[in-house]
Amino acid sequence: MKWTQSFIPTLKEDPADAEIISHKLMIRAGLIKPLMAGVYTYLPLAWKSFLKIENIIREEMDRISAQEILMPGLNPIEIWEETGRNEDMGNEMYRLKDRRDRTLCLAPTHEEIITDLARGEIRSYKELPQIWYQIQTKFRDEPRPRSGLLRVKEFAMKDSYTLAATFEQLDESYDLHARAYKRIFTRCGLEYLLVGAASGLMGGSASQEFMVLSPAGEDSVIVCEKCGYADNMEIATSKAVSYESRELESKLVHTPNQRTIEEVSAFLDIPKWQLVKSLLYVIEETGQPVMALVRGDHKLNEAKLNGIIGSVLRQAEPEEAKGFVGADIGFIGPHDVESMRIIADTAIDPEMTFATGANQNDYHITGLKLSQLRSVEYADIRMADEGDICSQCGGTLSMKNSVELGHIFKLGTKYSKAMGATFLDEEGSAHPIIMGSYGIGLGRIMAAAIELYHDDDGIIWPITIAPYDVLVTIINVTDEKLNSTGHQIYQELKSKSIDVLLDDRDDRPGVKFKDADLLGFPIRVTIGPRAMKEDCLEIYRRDTKENIKVKLEDAVEKILEIRESLFRSINEKTAKITEQPKI
RNA sequence: CGGGACGUAGCGCAGUCUGGUAGCGCACUAGCAUGGGGGGCUAGGGGUCGGAGGUUCAAAUCCUCUCGUCCCGACCA
């Protein structure tokens, strides 16, 4: 392709409404153009990169004998009612009416459609296991789209679904996907982390996420540098740092208007960790209150608490709280609350005297011990935090932002049971199909690659997903010798099926170099007067900024060699994954 | 959904407080010169000032409503 025939609208300045690096660079490099908040057009360069990512994914899915299908984006709402997810999805799902006033929706994911397909067609254990996958657009009405391609309302996703007759088959399919995903992200040139995760709306048992560490990421992971432990903060566990506590006198203290931990801690001159935070929740179904206790310096992890209670919880409204304990939020405590279920975090020492709300407005009490209260349950219900102690090895934990690129789930039978997707076993009895679900965000791969690999001048594409492998820059197209040499090198590379772009614009060199760096193609070939004096051209590597001079007659061979070496370093890493023993 | 900010040419912005017929840089068009890091000169084209209503002799500017965009939070594969 010649630049003069291409559509590459680059920008000199950062767009005003972009905050994160990948967003800025993707707009500046002419990769994407916003249509509305969270909806983008992929311009030619981005689409070329997208197709390469898609191709890598297809090849790796083929390797594990997955079969590609294409499912409808437009769904009847009834199928979502079968699993209860019409309600669960809430405003996240786009709903619309057709001309006959029938309610339809735009699929935010496809478990229901897959399960429908399976219940119609799968009859026998002999037909299992199966791996079906799709690469297509999904729609989610994000409350707040942001960060360029990282959080959007319409996005391309690779999603696989596995159908199994036994849990062993499910484990096998899951492991196949874990390995395929490692190969996919490695082939895309990314450094990633595999972490334990919560399953959220998807339901099911085990789940792991493939994360790329980046300050732009919206997820937080807790990692231990020492032993490699890594979990999404949603589920991460830790040992809390413990402190030497002093004995607090048992008494009621007037604390006018002191509601927050900070205020009370300062007012009473008691360290935060010797206060207990009392949080009131209500079980959605029954309206029963539940009190959660965490140390003053800790945060409650609602997902963990949810898991222990086993039903949907919400925070108590201020009026409700007053009704339950007789005090406003800010003065709530665990003593004298008869019949209420109380769950205390394991980091609170039952023998430590602490201060907490007195269940009386403008009063706190001090000198209380958990061991004095009756029927307190202990559980891990706190957020692991930066600085906590690793429960595996005793190292120090840190918290990092990350971008979720892929998520693999063991779904189990949530969908097959709800929708009646069963198979007959050897004895002829029916069982629900055991399912798994495995997603990858394609746009996020592109954005994460840019987050990971860029410098002040622009993008530094991994060669496997770069829109073009090589850029041939003619310094001055009005110089006949330079121009013809440039075209000749370009033609030779093209004839060898190299993905090459020729910068044949009649512009000054500075403009061309700036654009080249911004767009970040891995190899730039410079045809300029300096090297030409010696019948040479230059080959510049975007990643190392290494610039070498090569004789014209050796040039194509040398370009191919560098290109090969860039591919090789990624392929070698990928090969190591396959060599790993079967999980 | 709560809090904050911003909508003026394709992009980045000034002008709004203090009302008086819309400007700068980049980009674009034509020409000249130039040719190794967004360089120079000359001449041009392009804007219902997000939209609607109001106040006023007069509104980008003041008032009301509305739409959109971004950030923080809540929520979220």
Instruction: Write the ipTM.
Output: 0.94
Which amino acid, residue A327?
A
Per-residue tokens: A415: 């969908």
- Is A578 or A63 the better-scoring residue by pLDDT? A63
* Highest mean pLDDT out of A80-89, A129-138, A196-205: A129-138
The answer to whether the beta carbon of residue A509 comes closer than 7 angstroms to any atom of strand B is yes
Residue A269 has pLDDT above 70, yes or no: yes
Nearest to A227 by CA among A389, A407, A408: A389
Task: Please tell me whether residue A248 adopts helix, strand or coil conformation.
Answer: coil
CA–C1' nearest nucleotide, residue A29:
B11
The mean pLDDT value for A275-303 works out to 87
> Percent helix, strand, coil in chain A (nearest 5)?
35, 30, 35
The answer to whether the beta carbon of residue A155 comes closer than 7 angstroms to any atom of strand B is yes
Name A residues 378-437 whose Cβ lies under 7 Å from strand B.
404, 407
The answer to whether the beta carbon of residue A143 comes closer than 7 angstroms to any atom of strand B is yes
Name A residues 511-540 whose Cβ lies under 7 Å from strand B.
511, 513-518, 526, 528-532, 538, 540
Residue A583 has pLDDT above 50, yes or no: no
Find out whether A140 and A153 touch, Cβ atoms under 8 Å. Answer: yes
User: pLDDT class for A580, splitting at 50, 70, 90?
Assistant: low
Q: Which pLDDT does position A373 carry in this prediction?
A: 85
Least confident of A295-309, A496-510, A566-580: A295-309
Q: Which pLDDT does position A412 carry in this prediction?
A: 92
Per-residue tokens: A509: 């060199």
Chain B positions with an atom below 7 A of a protein C-beta are: 1, 11-13, 25-27, 34-39, 68-77
Q: Which pLDDT does position A324 carry in this prediction?
A: 86
Q: Which pLDDT does position A336 carry in this prediction?
A: 83
Residue A54 has pLDDT above 80, yes or no: yes
Bridge pairing between strands A354-357 and A397-412? unpaired
The answer to whether the beta carbon of residue A201 comes closer than 7 angstroms to any atom of strand B is yes
d(CA A422, CA A163): 10
Find out whether A303 and A352 touch, Cβ atoms under 8 Å. Answer: no
Residue A325 sits at φ, ψ, to 5 deg, of -120, -10
Residue A302 has pLDDT above 90, yes or no: no
The answer to whether the beta carbon of residue A35 comes closer than 7 angstroms to any atom of strand B is no
User: pLDDT class for A199, splitting at 50, 70, 90?
Assistant: low
The whole-chain average pLDDT of chain A stands at: 92
The answer to whether the beta carbon of residue A16 comes closer than 7 angstroms to any atom of strand B is yes
The answer to whether the beta carbon of residue A457 comes closer than 7 angstroms to any atom of strand B is yes
Nearest to A355 by CA among A450, A412, A275: A275
The answer to whether the beta carbon of residue A444 comes closer than 7 angstroms to any atom of strand B is yes
Instruction: Give the pLDDT confidence of A530-572 residue by residue, as tens digits.
Output: 999 999 999 999 999 999 999 999 999 999 999 999 999 999 9
Separation of A26 CA and B59 C1' (Å): 39
Separation of A276 CA and B4 C1' (Å): 32
The answer to whether the beta carbon of residue A10 comes closer than 7 angstroms to any atom of strand B is yes
- Name all domains of chain A by residue range, CATH numbers in brackets: 44-219+401-451 (3.30.930.10), 251-379 (3.90.960.10), 468-573 (3.40.50.800)
Name A residues 242-281 whose Cβ lies under 7 Å from strand B.
none
Bridge pairing between strands A313-315 and A422-424? unpaired
Residue A270 has pLDDT above 60, yes or no: yes
Bridge pairing between strands A130-139 and A154-164? antiparallel
The mean pLDDT value for A318-341 works out to 84
Residue A200 has pLDDT above 90, yes or no: no
The answer to whether the beta carbon of residue A544 comes closer than 7 angstroms to any atom of strand B is no
User: pTM score > 0.90 for this model?
Assistant: yes
Using the structure block, give the residue that is written with the tokens 């608490």: A305
d(CA A500, CA A374): 74
Q: Residue A129: is the preceding peptide bond cis (ω within 30°)?
A: yes
User: In what order do the strands lie in the sheet containing A289-295?
Assistant: A313-315, A276-283, A289-295, A341-345, A376-379
- Is A374 or A94 the better-scoring residue by pLDDT? A94
The answer to whether the beta carbon of residue A215 comes closer than 7 angstroms to any atom of strand B is no
CA atoms within 13 A on the CB side of A79: 22
Residues 6+ apart with CB under 8 A from A317: none
CA distances from A153 to A34, A82, A144, A209, A291 (A): 12, 25, 9, 21, 37
Residue A16 has pLDDT above 60, yes or no: yes
The answer to whether the beta carbon of residue A475 comes closer than 7 angstroms to any atom of strand B is yes
Least confident of A174-183, A247-256, A460-469, A509-518: A247-256
The answer to whether the beta carbon of residue A472 comes closer than 7 angstroms to any atom of strand B is no
d(CA A414, CA A418): 6
Nearest to A344 by CA among A305, A372, A384, A317: A305
- Is A583 or A322 the better-scoring residue by pLDDT? A322
Which helix (H) or strand (E) element contains residue A189? none
Using the structure block, give the residue that is written with the tokens 């319409």: A154
Separation of A76 CA and B70 C1' (Å): 35
Residue A501 sits at φ, ψ, to 5 deg, of -120, 135
First to last CA, chain A: 44
